[in-house]
Amino acid sequence: MTPPSNALLAGDAPSHGGADISYAPGPTPAVAAVAPASKEKPPAKAKERYVYLDAMKGLMILWGIPVHACVVSHSKFFKLVSDISNCVRMEAFFMISGFLTYMLVKRYGAGTIMRKRTVAVGLPLLSVVALLNPFTNWLILKYKGGAAVPGLKDFFTGQIPPELYHADITWGWHLHIWFLVVLLTLASMSGPIMTAIDRALAWSRPRLARLPDEVLLFLVALVAIGCVVAARIGYEAAVKPYTHESFHYLLRMVGYYFGFFALGMAMYASPRVLGIFTRCHWIQLFVSCGLLWAARLWKSGFAEGSHSIAKKMAELVNLAAEAYLAVIAVAVLFTFFRRFCSGTGRTMWLSPMHWVQLVASGVMLFAVTGLQGTLPAALAPGLLLGAQGYFFVMVCLVIFGLFEHFSKDPGKVMHFIVESAFCVYLFHYLVIYLCASWLRNFIGDDFTLSFLVTLGTTAVTMLIYEYAVRRNGVLRCLFLGKLPKREKAKA
C-alpha cells in the first residue's frame, strides 16, 4: 500500500497549499537542553517523519465539521464541542504551521517556500471566496433569515434588504477561509521571526538549561500571552480605528495567532521545548482552567455597554487566560496524538469491548432521548448531555484506534484522510448548509440534525475530493493549488 505522502513532512517539497500550511490546519522526544540556534542548525530532521501529525491533521479537520455543524441547530452538545474547539483547535493549527514552516524554510529556503505557498494557498483561497462563498452566504441567509432573503439572482446582483446586514447572522466574504489569509500573512514574516527565535534560543540556552520543565513551560506560555495581549492592544489602538470593519476580524486574528505561530517555530528549533509539549502538564491545565473561569466571572460582572477601564482590563485578563489555557491544552493534544498515533507501536487496540460500548452508548442515547418527558426536570438535561457525550466519545475512541492501526503501517485509509483534508475543509461549510437545508424538513431533534449533518458533510466532501477535485486538472489547480507540471524539453 502507498504510504501517506505528507508533503510537509517527507523529503520532497510541499505539493499543495492545504496540507502545506493549514493542517499540517502536528513534532519527538525531549532532550536535555535548548537547541542551539543562529549559527548552529536545528537537529537534523530532514528525513524524519512525524506520522502522528498525519492523524492529528485528519482528526482536526473532521473536528472542524461538527464545530461548524453546531450553527444549524441549537444542540447543547454540539455547542459544547464548539466551545472546546474555541479553546485549542486553531491555536494547535497555528503552532503546527509554525513548526512546519521552520522545518521547510531550513530545508528549502524562505524564498522557495514562500513562492510555492503563495500559489498553493492563494489559488484555493481566491477560488473559495469567488466560487463557493457567495452561494454559501445566500444559503446561510436563507436558512436563518427566512422569507426576508431575496432570490439567488437578486442576491448576486446586490439587491439585499438592509435589515439582513444588521441581523444576528454570521456571514461575510471570507467565512471559514479567514485562516488562510492569516497563515499567508504570518508566513510572510517567517524570516524575521526565525531570526528572533534563533537569537533568543542562543541567549537562553546557558541560562535556562537547569530550569525544571514545568517552569520553562510557564515561561514559554508567558511569552505567548505577552504576544497575544500586546497584539490586541496594538490592534485596538492603531489598527481598528483606521481600517474597514470587513477586515477587522482578519487583522485581529493575525495578532492573536502570531504568538502561537512563533511558538510552533520554537518547538522545531528547540528539542527541549518540543519535548515539553509532548507531555501532559495536569497541574497547569487545572490552574489555567481555574484562571479562565475566574477571568470570565470578572468580565461578566460588567454591563453590556460599559466602556470603563476596569472592563477593558477584565477583557485583557480574560484574553490572557484563554491564551494560557490554549498553550497548556495544545500540549495535551500533542501528547495524545504522539502516544496513540506515533506509528512506533500499537498502544490502543480496538477490542470487542470498544464496539460493545459504541453500541451501548447509542442505545443509551436513544433511551434517554425517548424518556425525556418522564425524567425529573432537574436531571433530564444533564443525563441527555452525558448520553450524547458518551456516544460521541466512543465514536472518537474507535476513530483513534483506527488511526493508530493505520498510522503504524500507513495505508490507503490514512493516505486518503491526509490527502483529502484540505479539500474537505474548503467545501464543508457549503455542504453543511446544503445538508441542513434538506434534513431539517424531516428531522426535528437538534442533536440528530447536527449529527447527521456532520456525517453527511464528511462523506459528501470526501466524495467531492475523490471523484471531482483529485481527478480533474482544472479543479486540482483551483482548489488544491496544484499547477500542471511542465514537461521537460527533450535534450
Per-residue pLDDT of the chain (491 residues; tens, 9 = 90+): 333 333 333 333 333 333 333 333 333 333 333 344 444 444 444 455 666 766 676 677 778 898 999 888 888 888 888 888 888 888 988 998 898 889 889 888 888 888 888 888 999 999 999 999 989 988 888 888 765 677 777 676 666 666 665 555 666 788 888 989 999 999 999 999 999 999 999 998 888 888 899 999 999 999 999 999 999 999 999 999 999 888 899 999 999 999 999 999 999 999 999 899 988 898 999 999 999 999 999 988 887 767 778 888 999 999 999 999 999 999 988 888 777 665 544 445 667 777 788 888 888 877 877 777 777 776 777 777 778 777 777 776 776 566 556 655 545 666 777 788 889 999 999 999 999 999 988 888 888 899 899 989 988 999 999 999 999 999 999 999 888 876 544 44
Residue 349 included in any domain:
no
Q: Dihedral through CA 223, CA 226, CA 228, CA 230, nearest 10?
A: -140
pLDDT of residue 10: 34
Amino acid at 315: E
Residue 393 included in any domain:
no
- Rounded Cα gap, residues 445 and 77, in angstroms: 12
- Rounded Cα gap, residues 89 and 22, in angstroms: 12
Q: Where are the alpha helices (DSSP H) in 146-281?
A: 152-156, 162-165, 178-188, 190-208, 213-234, 248-269, 271-276
Residue 279 included in any domain:
yes
Distance of CA 397 to the CA centre of its chain: 19
CB atoms within 10 A of CB 226: 13
Residue 398 included in any domain:
no
Strands (DSSP E) found in 119-237: none
- Rounded Cα gap, residues 410 and 24, in angstroms: 16
In 3D space, the residue among 478, 421, 461, 360 whose CA is nearest the CA of residue 120 turns out to be: 478
Residue 364 included in any domain:
no
Residue 491 included in any domain:
no
CA distances from 254 to 85, 262, 390 (A): 18, 12, 36
CB atoms within 10 A of CB 175: 18
Q: How many domains does the chain contain in total?
A: 1
In 3D space, the residue among 429, 321, 387, 357 whose CA is nearest the CA of residue 76 turns out to be: 387
First to last CA, the chain: 35
pLDDT of residue 158: 65
Q: Is the pTM of this model over 0.85?
A: no
Q: Which domain holds residue 460?
A: 17-342+409-480
The conformation of residue 131, written as its DSSP 8-state character, comes to I
CA distances from 356 to 329, 399, 447, 455 (A): 30, 15, 22, 21
- Rounded Cα gap, residues 400 and 403, in angstroms: 5
pLDDT of residue 356: 81
- Rounded Cα gap, residues 207 and 219, in angstroms: 13
Residue 438 included in any domain:
yes
The answer to whether residues 175 and 68 touch, using CB atoms and an 8 Å cutoff, is no
pLDDT of residue 409: 54
pLDDT of residue 3: 37
The answer to whether residues 230 and 286 touch, using CB atoms and an 8 Å cutoff, is no
Residue 486 included in any domain:
no
Q: Quick one: angle between helices 51-69 and 76-108, nearest 10?
A: 140
Side-chain half-sphere CA neighbours of 420 within 13 A:
23
CA distances from 431 to 69, 72, 466 (A): 10, 12, 15
